[in-house]
Amino acid sequence: MIEITGLEKRFGKIRVLRGLDLCLDRGKVTAILGPNASGKTTLIKCILGLVQPDRGGIVFDGVRLNGDWAYRGRIGYMPQIARFPDNLNAREVMAMLKDLRGRPTGADEALLEAFRLGQELDKPLRTLSGGTRQKISAILAFLFNPDVLFLDEPTAGLDPVSSSILKDKILQARDVGKTFILASHIMSEIEELADNIVFLLDGQVRFAGPLDEIKTSTGQHNLERAIAQMMVAQITKEAA
């Protein structure tokens, strides 16, 4: 679905992405992992068109990105911390976005019904709890039935029931062909949701493949220990 070749990005003297090559499969949940400053956020922002890479290319569903923004209409994005106009309520934000999209048909409001927000939808967003704002962010990510969804720490702040609802929604959407790029620090969540793992370190891909393969290659029984072993091995190599 998304092919990335030779992607490079610097911020001043800091080289964040170092000739990164990657293929993100259609109809799969791919988790992008890595320590702080590994390049995860910059990579995602490059794909979303929020950051312009210095070199390299990105192909989205067969079309090379060249500054045209139209492809973003096929993307749903759930940031780690959603920023909303504080003077509006959730209903007004959804209505505003629908107007901006030209009132498209076939909106996906399943999460709106499942979360049962009730009167919370009519309260100013600035008054809502972090968990409720997170639910609204999830609703908006799925609202326009996108082909590709980027989810950054999607269950952060959610109660167990709401977290389960969202994870079920992700798996159901994947099963009908939606593509997900997931960033999360909760390894158990990734093991539950992800088909593929991409592990970044120092702006380079150190592993890309099925979830089971990273466990097998490291000889570890869970993802957290597999990732930890890869990080320790790299630190040891650099210190040698």
Per residue in 140-176, pLDDT (tens digit) is 999 999 999 999 889 988 999 999 999 999 999 999 9
Cβ distance 49 to 232 under 8 Å? Answer: no
How far apart (Å, rounded) are the C-alpha atoms in residues 133 and 24?
Answer: 29
Condensed to tens digits (0 to 9), the pLDDT of residues 98-113 reads 888 877 777 888 999 9
Half-sphere exposure at residue 118, Cβ-oriented, CA atoms within 13 angstroms: 1
- Written as six digits, the tokens of 1 are 């679905």
Is the confidence at residue 239, as pLDDT, over 70?
Answer: no
Is the confidence at residue 27, as pLDDT, over 90?
Answer: yes
pLDDT at 205 (0 to 100): 92
How far apart (Å, rounded) are the C-alpha atoms in residues 23 and 60?
Answer: 10
Number of domains the chain is built from: 1
pLDDT at 240 (0 to 100): 62
pLDDT at 34 (0 to 100): 86
Q: Which of 224, 143, 213 is nearest to 187 (CA)?
A: 224
Task: Identify the CATH number of the domain in which residue 123 sits.
Answer: 3.40.50.300
Is the confidence at residue 5, as pLDDT, over 90?
Answer: yes
Residue whose tokens read 């977290």: 163
48 CB-contact burial (10 Å; exposed 0-12 / middle 13-18 / buried 19+): middle
Cβ distance 124 to 93 under 8 Å? Answer: no
Half-sphere exposure at residue 48, Cβ-oriented, CA atoms within 13 angstroms: 18
Condensed to tens digits (0 to 9), the pLDDT of residues 227-238 reads 888 888 777 777
- Tell me how many helices (H) and strands (E) the chain has: 8, 10
How far apart (Å, rounded) are the C-alpha atoms in residues 86 and 170?
Answer: 28
Cα 9 to Cα 68, 79, 90: the distances in Å are 19, 21, 36
Domain with 169, as residue range(s), is 2-239
How far apart (Å, rounded) are the C-alpha atoms in residues 132 and 115?
Answer: 9
Q: What's the pTM value of the predicted model, to 2 decimals?
A: 0.89
Indicate the average pLDDT of the chain. 90
Cβ distance 168 to 29 under 8 Å? Answer: no
pLDDT at 151 (0 to 100): 94
122 pLDDT band, cuts 50/70/90, is: very high
Cβ distance 211 to 226 under 8 Å? Answer: no
Condensed to tens digits (0 to 9), the pLDDT of residues 177-224 reads 999 999 888 888 999 999 999 999 888 998 999 998 988 888 888 888
- Written as six digits, the tokens of 6 are 């030779």
How far apart (Å, rounded) are the C-alpha atoms in residues 71 and 78?
Answer: 17
Please state at what angle helix 160-175 crosses helix 130-143, rounded to 10 degrees. Answer: 10
